[in-house]
Structure 1
Amino acid sequence: MAEKLTRRQIAEAATISAQAPRQLRNAPVDRTFELPGILYAATVGLFLGYVAIMGWGFAHPEMILPVAIFAIFIVAGFGVPAIWTRLAPDSPARAKSWSRFVAEGIDTATGPLDAKAASVQVVILPVLIFGWGVAVVSIAALAR
């Protein structure tokens, strides 16, 4: 709820200082998500593979532009965060290497996961989407 405060109440609660506060440097931020790059590459590859299969299976000159737009969005959707992780070069946080990922796993909001479980959680949706694309193109080819 909002509460109206008078100037007197604000003055009593405020800390007044004659000197301006000095600038405090923010703590480094971990922007890596702690996953190795190979998982991102696999995800991008599966999404682009889905777009390629759909573009090949339903090839038509009018589909060139939508397929290109989808591919650009996928690359941008993963490229911008990849650039974002490198914006603070003085940050000590780095993405885990695959060997470190296998050895340590990853901490999630629901608890720690080993590398196998975390990898499955990351790539399950792209694999299902890719499989769906293969199934749709196969069904369309059989129905013709």
Structure 2
Amino acid sequence: MTIHQPITAFIDARAVDAPVHYRPNRAERAFELHPAVFGMLAASFALFMLALGVAFMNPTLIVPFGICAAYLLMFFGVPLVVARTVPGTTGRFQSWAEFMAEGVETGSGHLTGAQALAQIMTVPAVLVGFAVTVAIVRAAV
């Protein structure tokens, strides 16, 4: 539900900066997320391609699936190359347990690790579920 606010409420409002959590001796990653999240994304898209490839295995589909595989390699390979070109930082990287406990700061505010994973992995999980469902239907026909 929405609540009507008079225009004076917006005129008198002030922008407040979000609190910055200082972590001493913490190195920053190139994309500010744990590499396991990147791996989960890559694995989910690979599972999507694998499920559809197994369901519709046909010699005439080798070229289209090869193009899709090359695209996925570039889609996940280029960011890996870019991340490796970032100058070395001092300190240690955030562990998985720290990522889940501390979460991440986004443009819309702070998210816990579980909330961030839910936002990131929703669409890939739906795609994998769709591909598996299509594969089951294809196998039943």
Query: TM-score, normalized by length of structure 2?
Result: 0.72
Q: How much does 1:93 deviate? A: 8.8
Deviation at 1:94, TM superposition (A): 7.7
Alignment equivalent of 2:83, drawn from 79, 82, 85? 85
- In structure 2, what residue type is equivalent to 1:90? G
The one of 40, 43, 50 equivalent to 2:41 is 43
Letter of the aligned partner of 1:100 in structure 2?
E
The number of residues matched between the two structures is 114
> Where do 1:133-144 residues align within 5 Å?
133-142=131-140, 144=141
Q: Percent same amino acid among aligned pairs?
A: 31
AA in 2 matched with 1:110: S
Q: Which runs of 5+ in 1 are unaligned?
A: 1-29
Tell me, in whole angstroms, the C-alpha distance in 1 between the residues paired with 2:67 and 2:55: 17
Computing the radius of gyration from Cα coordinates, the structure with the larger value is 1
The alpha-carbon distance between structure 1 residues 137 and 84, as it changes in their structure 2 partners (threshold 3 A), is same
Letter in 2 for 1:79: G
Other-structure match for 2:126: 128
Distance 1:78 1:85, change over 3 A: same
Q: In 2, are the aligned partners of 1:44 and 1:78 still within 8 Å (CA)?
A: yes
Q: Give the equivalent residue in structure 2 for 1:102.
A: 100
Task: Report the residue type matching 2:38 in the other structure.
Answer: Y
Deviations 1:33-60 (A, max 9, x none): 2111111111111101110111110010
* Structure 2: stretches of 5+ with no match in the other structure: 1-27
